[in-house]
Amino acid sequence: MTQLSIGLLGGFRAQLGSGRLLTIRRKKAQALLAYLALRPDVSHSRESLAGLLWSGTTDQHARHNLRQTLFALRQALPSATAPLRREGETVGLRGSAVTVDTAAFERCVQRGTREALHEAAALYRGELLEGFTLGESPFDDWVAAERHRLRGLALEGLEKLLAMDVAVDASERAVATGLRLLALDPLRETAHRTLMELYARQGRRTLALRQYQLCIDALRRELGVGPEADTTRLYRHIREQPPEGEAGRDRAAAAALPTRYTRSGDVNLAYQVVGEGKPDLVLVPGWVSNVECFWEEPRVARFLRRLASVGRLILFDKRGTGLSDRVALDSLPTLEQRMADVQAVMDAVASERAVLVGCSEGGPMCALFAATYPERTAGLVMIGSYARQMWRADYPWGYSTANYARFLEALRRGWGGPVGIKLFAASAADDPAFRDWWARYLRMSASPGAAEAFSRMNTEIDVRHVLSAVRVPTLVLHAAADKTVDVRAAHDMAARIPHARYVELPSADHLPWLSDAEAILGEIERFVRAPQPARDVDRLLLTVVVVEQVATWGGDGERGRADFREIARREIVRFRGRFLQASGPALLAAFDGPARAVRSAGAIVDEARRLGLTARAGLHTGECEVGPEGLTGTALDMARRVTAAAKDGEVIVSSTVKDLVAGSGIEFVLRAEKSDGEPEERPLFAVASPP
């Protein structure tokens, strides 16, 4: 039986085991389901439920409303789950038919092991029914009491977990636990002291002293008192100790961390592995990167160490940057090649599935990877990212052409120095040490020509129309005043991804390891630790190719049709596609890379021409369903419609395909037509250059 999953911590959620969210529109129906879910298998009298939710009306009217609400719940809950149990004058939920996060949370706290308490911390995503009020005193009073009880359990569990993390010397985990504890109770002075000791032990003296000031501020603001004597003695002890040179230690640690190489095609990719345990996290860098220079800046090193405490962290430099092989400026990696590079790095470290953490321009590629290879993607995190960079009428927060030209001119003039530091790192722009590191990091990551070429190529990318195909758990993080990527780009992106969680950060920093670092790391850890519903990998993002042999005046005959099919099959296999079917003069194929799909279609049309045959092709990238009948879905229908617009000897693509092959060298000519049935005014493009 498919179970109904109910989430009450951090807000109300209800979904099936498959991950499909249920829509329960009536607020009192939500309240009733939440009340029953907190104690599954407990029967409640109809009289008590009516009084709980309709306290200001007559008994008869309240009972009538309860009957209607129960009917609405039965309509909203699929009959296959059968979670409601009605026996005469009592109502309840069948415990065997539901899973509830509060019950799992309480079990983990009661179990009390370190692993169980970490799971409890991940489950406690916020207060019971956070932000939910009904305006009925009995119900709201019940919620307030249960919130207080569960919050007390969370504090008790976090306090035990903090002591356990410290005992096993898991300092980064302990810091995260301490910060989580203080977020719930800023007045817990023992937690402030533990954080001060941890920071001091790590050599982060400035943070230790700052924690003391945060403790003082909280106590004075809330209670009007000063800190305990033990806290002040610890502060004085830390203050009197000389700084130990944290940056030097980070450089020594980085020197001991090996940089390894793996091949993707004919290119060598540099990568590092930090930490161990599950899950794997692949950090996909933005514009440019250098995995060894990362460790030279203390704030970046702390961020990476802390991320590595969540799971095994995999770092790499994309081709053309950092310690990976340089590539010609006219052969920069496409999104498709970058996906292949991520797979190559994952294969090199025996990672079957990973959480992809895409920063800035790494986000679009990660989203495309998640939609194309859901079986290898455990989750998707995008920080300071976007689906498209440039302005359009339907995307008014993108860069204007003039603004981007000014950025490129500044890049050309200033490369070698701290280019763009006010855009990328507003809070550290006036820090001399950070400015020096940023300038060196850029120089070691790319040549000025490569940096400009990458920037130009990114302006052509647009993944908006494939985001709806992302079916893995997704977290979108963005600074509210980000000066590099407008926060509205993140709003738009999160809205297009089914069930994505969006978190807005308070700073103006585009780089994740500055003022928002602790918040970002905390959100990632909660995201990774939270139990995720099992999802069937039954939908994939694919590029569908339809190739048709065009009958000539004299007809091509059976021999010509057989030759055409042989050509098509050969070229589909050569470009690593999958042959789907042949029906009359048309052949259908699918590719997990749009550029290879375009090249395959072009090769088929060209080879047919050499044999004196005429063909045409159409391509579209979209979501396909994998079932017993093979691949189905609207993407196949759309590819057929695109093909219908092609002239003899042409290869026509939808604008979605064109947007995904930026940097491939394939050139297109705008066609005036759009395919029949296209829901938007999105033009078609003919392939102009030999693909």
What's the confidence (pLDDT) of residue 333? 86
Please give the backbone phi and psi of residue 436, each rounded to the nearest 5 degrees, phi first.
-65, -45
Question: 5-53 pLDDT, tens per residue?
Answer: 899 998 898 887 656 778 888 899 999 999 999 998 899 999 999 999 9
**360: which DSSP letter?**
T
Instruction: Tell me if residue 413 falls in helix, strand or coil.
Output: helix
Question: 564-579 pLDDT, tens per residue?
Answer: 888 899 999 999 898 8
What's the confidence (pLDDT) of residue 535? 57
Stretch among 16-25, 237-246, 269-278, 279-288 having the lowest mean pLDDT: 237-246
Q: Which helix (H) or strand (E) holds 624?
A: strand 615-627
Count the neighbouring beta carbons within 10 Å of the beta carbon of residue 661: 27
Does the pLDDT at position 245 exceed 60?
Answer: no
The dihedral region occupied by 678, where left means phi > 0, alpha psi between -120 and 50, and beta the remainder, is beta
The dihedral region occupied by 360, where left means phi > 0, alpha psi between -120 and 50, and beta the remainder, is left
Reading the block at residue 146, the tokens are 């249960």
Task: Give, in order, the Cα–Cα distances in Å from 181 to each of 7, 124, 522.
Answer: 22, 11, 12
Question: 87-137 pLDDT, tens per residue?
Answer: 888 999 988 889 999 999 999 999 999 999 999 998 998 899 988 888 899
User: For the whole model, what pTM was predicted?
Assistant: 0.65
Count the neighbouring beta carbons within 10 Å of the beta carbon of residue 352: 10
Does the pLDDT at position 243 exceed 70?
Answer: no
With a CB cutoff of 8 Å and minimum separation 6, the contacts of 525 are: 122, 176, 310
Stretch among 64-73, 318-327, 401-410, 535-544 having the lowest mean pLDDT: 535-544
Given the DSSP bridges, would you call strands 90-93 and 260-264 parallel, antiparallel or unpaired?
unpaired
Given the DSSP bridges, would you call strands 578-583 and 586-591 parallel, antiparallel or unpaired?
antiparallel
Residues in the chain: 691
* Of 488 and 169, more confident: 488
> Whose structure tokens read 């039954």?
538
Mean pLDDT, the chain, whole residue set: 88
Q: Which helix (H) or strand (E) holds 443?
A: helix 432-445
Instruction: Tell which residue, 335, 418, 430, 370, has the closest CA to residue 657.
Output: 335
Instruction: Tell me if residue 16 falls in helix, strand or coil.
Output: strand
Question: 449-501 pLDDT, tens per residue?
Answer: 999 999 988 888 899 999 999 989 999 999 999 999 999 999 999 999 998 99
What's the confidence (pLDDT) of residue 244? 53
What's the confidence (pLDDT) of residue 537? 58
Are the C-beta atoms of residues 374 and 471 closer than 8 Å to each other?
A: yes
Are the C-beta atoms of residues 368 and 464 closer than 8 Å to each other?
A: no
* Of 374 and 81, more confident: 374
Buried b (16+ CB within 10 A) or exposed e, 506-515: ebbbbbbbbb
Question: 438-451 pLDDT, tens per residue?
Answer: 999 999 999 999 99
What's the confidence (pLDDT) of residue 553? 45
